[in-house]
Structure 1
Amino acid sequence: MIHLTDKNTPLHEKLEIGLLLAIVGGFLDAYSFLCYGGVFANAQTGNMVLLGISLINGDYINFFHYLIPIIAFSVGILITEYLLKQLSGSFYIWVLITEIIILCIIAFSPDNTPQVVVTAAISFMCSIQIGSFRKICGAPYTSTMCTGNLRSAMELLFIAISNKDSHSLVKGLRYLTIILFFCIGATIGAVFVDWWGKISVLVCCLLFFVLLLLIIRDILYIKRRQQRLSNTINK
């Protein structure tokens, strides 16, 4: 029987965590595109293409409209790298709390808030997510875009078929599952944006809150287990 997850994997690398993050990633891409001027706040490749087109066309307003989210994304990666070294075990808790706060501010921001401010905030938040949750069951992946995941999935499936390698098959299926849930998230995002408009992003806050509870539960479990081991050694 094929098992896509491993009980010994750290919680922040487990498949179920990756699936929830992929839903959020797809949701936010649909949300930012539909609500805020066709900007993809998660993956910056599209914004870079549109930035170049705007520059060639002399459309300098849209040029900065696409440039600012790219800068915000870059700054978010730098800050994440710094905090990863400073916060240690509590890092993932602070990441999720930060993401919840940012999305709540976006949900209840005034209607006249400039679009570029919101897309920059989402880009910053997504860069934190990418920089923090980098692996799924020990393998590198991204929860906010699919190109790299799709390449890895196809490479692993080719290896699995050509070499009859069940381990590569499992890893390839993990990537495909992440991609599927990203698409599900985008679909859900489009539906909720149609229903609720900009406050639909609170759905992502709920998912992040669930992730936060899971991370806290795992940290407490590890501490209790270490305490029991210490008590046993000291007896």
Structure 2
Amino acid sequence: MAQKLWHHRGQMSEAFRTVMFLSASGGLQDAYTYIGRGKVFANAQTGNIVLMSQAAFDGDLARVLHYLVPLLSFALGVAVAEAIRIRYREAKRLHWRQLVLVVEILLLFGVGFIPNTLDMAANALVSFACAMQVQAFRKVHGYPFASTMCIGNLRSGMESLVVYLHLHDKKVLYKALHYFGVILLFAIGAGLGAQGVAVFGNRTIWFSCALLLVSLCFMFIQDEEQARRETE
């Protein structure tokens, strides 16, 4: 079962070994912005909407802007990722998802240099990058999932677990394990992010860059293996 979970013959962007680093990175990003950048969620925009609404009813316009900016940045990130997909989906040298990861890594690397006096700009960039990731990577082994948030994964995981207990179908259990694995990795990333902020401060986001770089390398390795098989 563990070996099946790891290997995947389809798109490398859907392989668990690619997704595991994306999920850990997503958790780290959320912990980074919430703990180190003024209690703003990079991924969980539902939380930002709740806090923004609270500020609006309190008449605190500065706090409204504090949460509105990352929310709008997230929406823009989704739009840009989709535009990249449309523009580069037929590209041969570089898959459009690889291009998204490259852009995300560069943006997050730049965030590490932004001082806390510009937290709003830092949160906007992280939210933008997160949105690109969640838009580009939406499946693991063919199962719909989110690498930057947990509620959908938790729902799908529990649904699959209940179906397995009823039907005893190992394929359904296999599906449930994917979702629980992604949630666990997200939590590990969040924990690492929280500890990192206390030690490395704003540069903690560079660990997220490193995780994304591993996923990017896996995607390139898959491309090379596939190209070699086609020439044999």
Distance 1:178 1:72 in 2: 25
Which residue number corresponds to residue 166 of structure 1? 170
Runs of at least 5 residues in structure 2 that lack an aligned partner in the other structure: none
Is the Cα–Cα contact under 8 Å of residues 72 and 124 in structure 1 kept in the other structure?
Answer: yes
Structure number, greater radius of gyration = 1
Which residue number corresponds to residue 231 of structure 1? none
Distance 1:80 1:205 in 2: 18
Distance 2:125 2:107 in 1: 7
Which residue number corresponds to residue 153 of structure 1? 157
Match of 2:109 among 81, 90, 104: 104
SS where residue 223 of structure 1 aligns? helix
Is residue 2:202 matched to residue 1:198? yes
Shift of 1:17: 1.2
Structure 1 residues 35-114: aligned runs within 5 Å:
35-88=36-89, 89=91, 90-112=95-117, 114=118
Structure 1 residues 125-164: aligned runs within 5 Å:
125-164=129-168
SS where residue 123 of structure 1 aligns? helix
Which residue number corresponds to residue 189 of structure 1? 193
Q: TM-score, normalised by structure 2?
A: 0.93
Runs of at least 5 residues in structure 1 that lack an aligned partner in the other structure: 229-235
Is the Cα–Cα contact under 8 Å of residues 77 and 128 in structure 2 kept in the other structure?
Answer: yes
SS where residue 198 of structure 1 aligns? helix
Distance 2:96 2:196 in 1: 30
Is the Cα–Cα contact under 8 Å of residues 8 and 16 in structure 2 kept in the other structure?
Answer: no
Paired letter, 1:221: E
Q: Bigger CA drift: 207-216 or 61-70?
A: 207-216
1:175-229 deviations in Å (ceiling 9; x for gaps): 001101111111111111111100111111111222222212222222233333x
Q: State the identity %.
A: 35
Shift of 1:110: 3.8
Is the Cα–Cα contact under 8 Å of residues 11 and 17 in structure 1 kept in the other structure?
Answer: yes
Is the Cα–Cα contact under 8 Å of residues 92 and 215 in structure 1 kept in the other structure?
Answer: no
1:2-53 deviations in Å (ceiling 9; x for gaps): 6324431311001111111110011111100011110011120000001111
Is the Cα–Cα contact under 8 Å of residues 5 and 137 in structure 1 kept in the other structure?
Answer: no
Distance 1:7 1:124 in 2: 29
SS where residue 5 of structure 2 aligns? coil
Shift of 1:170: 0.6
Distance 2:81 2:103 in 1: 11
Structure 1 residues 205-216: aligned runs within 5 Å:
205-216=209-220
Distance 2:10 2:165 in 1: 26
